[in-house]
Structure 1
Amino acid sequence: MKSLGNSNRGLTPKQKRLLYISCIQPIATFGLRCWYKRRTRAFKTNIKMLRLTHNQGARWITGAFRTSPMEAMTAVAGLMPLHLQLKKLFERSVIRINTLHPHHPVLSLLEQRQAKGSTLHPNALERKSKTIRNVIKSPLDSVIDNPSSEIFDPLSEHIKPGHRLVDRHPDKVKFVLMPKNRKDRDEYHNNLNLAPVREPTALHLFTAGIKHKFDPSVPISH
């Protein structure tokens, strides 16, 4: 990372932060579900290594000295505290289990009340004693210990082509794209500012970041 820039030359702090979040963090936290279990030796060891990586990344982004307070340096770098970042990834992975299809093989390894009707595997957690489960420390135990009250249907009718809002009401959904010509952008932004006044009963949504060619007449595929 040092070869890409420092406090005097190379990448800007904004670019460094983007590089760290998009490239380094996903690699460092890969396999989180396999060891993210509190009060275990692996948890403490991996947290210690990740904290060193996180601190080094914050120091690289800000160009601060090694003696700078880590909490303040992380805040200046715009990075989420490590324990909150790991907690977010862990909770997302738990919720993702609830979005699986009822016949997904992972569900057969859980307890019957969370298997969505799937036939339990001979090595399912429900068929293991509490002592054995404490020994194996399965990552799937976190799904049982952190149940979700939300119900997800991976094959819901509302997400199928033809049932979406843009498909059912094409005359009421309008896409307004930013013109490529810079001279026309002033008028474009003025129209956006006046849109809520001209159409007070309409819902106006603004988004950005689309770089590929987009045809409003073609329904968005899932």
Structure 2
Amino acid sequence: MCMLRNSTRGLSPKQRRLLYRSCVVPIATYGYRLWYFDGACNKGAMNQLKQMQRKAALWIMGAFCTSPTGSLEALAGLIPVHLRLKKLATCAVYRVATLSDTHPLCSMMCERLLRQAEPHARSAALMTPAMRGKVKSTVMEVDERVHTLTESFEPFAPEAHPGDWLLDRYADHLHFDERDPTQDRRPYLDELIAKARANPLTVLAATDGSVSQSNQYQAASAAIIYMGHHELERTRYVSGRVTAPDAELNAISCAVRLAVKQANCQHIMVFTDSMGSAHRAVDPSVHSGQAFSLAVCCALQEWFEADDFHRITFVYIPSALQWDIHGEAHKYVTELKVRVGRRKRDNSIDVLCSRAAHSVLDSWSSTFQNPTYQGSEFLELQQPDGGLLQPSYLNGGPWLSTFRHSITEFTHVCQCITGHTPIGAYYCRFKINEPHGCTCGAALQSRQHILFRCHDRYSVHYPHFLRDIASFMKYNPTAFGFNRDPWGVG
């Protein structure tokens, strides 16, 4: 990997990060569930993985080897290894519920996960309560946590058999109208619904799902069925603790099952703001909300078999438009507010995995506030709204996704942020035999002095470093918490 990049040429930082995450991390974490579980002695393995990630972060950033690991991981958008494994392990627990009834792993589980598999001689189902309290393993961890997932799956559903998918048998009956969302769709949609309302054999279905930002309320789904300008039916109900795509998939399932029951219906048009959920609605494979997809596939299969002229179209509606019947569905579903009660609530696999991801991000942000982790010289940058940047692995993190400059510029900016850059303060701190003073006459050449007070920034002593920092601050002043260029060079 070192042959693919150096401090001046080769792969860009984003490409290096992608290469590390795609090629190195999967190999390094392969089989981690054999040694990573509650109560396991894995300190040696974790230290090796942490050393590996530190080398990768240095390679991605081009920083000095004295830079703190915490700041390197944050700048490179690499979540700490122990948090990555924690998230993966949590998601792996819930994926056990997607296994078939006779899967070999089920033979090792407890009674409620044994299903139709024959229990193994060392199965948890054959252990006494005292033995279960002493045994530490991945199997016992699954037994303790998987009950949170209330969703059920059918890996071998008849609709999911190869060659029997709805898209395989009735591809010409299914259409997805997903034009470029960046364009103004209102004129196109107005013309489309006018033609549909003029056809007495067309049923219109507006669907929408709503997920409250507050954890106090459950998600909701709604569907409204029209024929022409006449409203036939409308329904809304809570969906439990699910993601927005799950709620939308629930609404689409309800709308389709209502639409196929309408008399003299040859064409169904479903208006939705989530085309991902529309595609998932006709996908019978194992995924979050599979039960809704199976219901859609079963209903449409019977409907298509009844008449060769039957067809369905999913139309994309940007939610920001608040357009016509979809705007009515959005208003209808957002009016439903149901608090989360004490009873056991429904949790989809996607919402539990999403919760695990948010949990590790919160832990990372909390750890990042410690100066020992991020480094005492770390330069905290601000977002445009005034809040401090927080570490994240999404889209490369806030720093890597913002610094879109050359390799050399990016390296210098990272050295400036970490405080590990060839200036007087660094030489003094690490006792390097170099001048500590500034060329302008100041006793100590610190980062704060260079950025805000020095009037000799472009001296021969450090031209490239300051030129790159000045260039970045000129075009990205808000990243350093300024409303304008602090030097007036813009």
| TM-score class normalised by the smaller sequence | 0.7 to 0.9
Could you say which residue in structure 2 is the equivalent of 1:81?
80
**1:1-222 aligned within 5 A:** 1-41=1-41, 43-129=42-128, 137-148=136-147, 149=149, 150-156=151-157, 159=160, 161-163=164-166, 167=170, 170-174=173-177, 192-195=182-185, 198-199=188-189, 202-203=271-272
The 3 A distance-change label for structure 1 pair 105 and 48 is same
- 1:38-61 residue CA offsets vs partner (Å, 9 max, x unmatched): 4432x2111111111111111111
Distance 1:221 1:96 in 2: 17
Does the CA contact (< 8 Å) of 2:108 and 2:120 recur in 1? Answer: yes
The 3 A distance-change label for structure 1 pair 172 and 128 is same
Q: Which runs of 5 or more structure 1 residues have no equivalent in the other structure?
A: 177-188, 208-218
- 1:125-170 residue CA offsets vs partner (Å, 9 max, x unmatched): 2223466557764322221122142322212356454446994883
Give the deviation of 1:220 after TM superposition: 8.6
The 3 A distance-change label for structure 1 pair 171 and 101 is closer
Secondary structure of residue in 2 paired with 1:24: helix
**RCO higher in 1 or 2 (8 Å CA, sep ≥ 6)?**
2
Does the CA contact (< 8 Å) of 2:124 and 2:132 recur in 1? Answer: yes
Distance 1:220 1:128 in 2: 39
Could you say which residue in structure 2 is the equivalent of 1:211?
none
Distance 1:61 1:146 in 2: 37
Q: TM-score, normalised to structure 1's length? A: 0.73
Distance 2:185 2:169 in 1: 20
Equivalenced residue count is 197
Cα root mean square deviation, aligned: 3.3
Does the CA contact (< 8 Å) of 2:110 and 2:123 recur in 1? Answer: yes
Query: Percent identity over the alignment?
Result: 31
The 3 A distance-change label for structure 1 pair 26 and 169 is same
Rg comparison, structure with higher value: 2
Distance 2:186 2:173 in 1: 20
Does the CA contact (< 8 Å) of 1:196 and 1:204 recur in 2? Answer: no
Secondary structure of residue in 2 paired with 1:79: coil
Distance 1:101 1:39 in 2: 28
Q: Which runs of 5 or more structure 2 residues have no equivalent in the other structure?
A: 191-205, 207-270, 277-281, 286-490
Secondary structure of residue in 2 paired with 1:67: coil
Distance 2:52 2:169 in 1: 44
Distance 1:193 1:116 in 2: 51
Secondary structure of residue in 2 paired with 1:199: helix
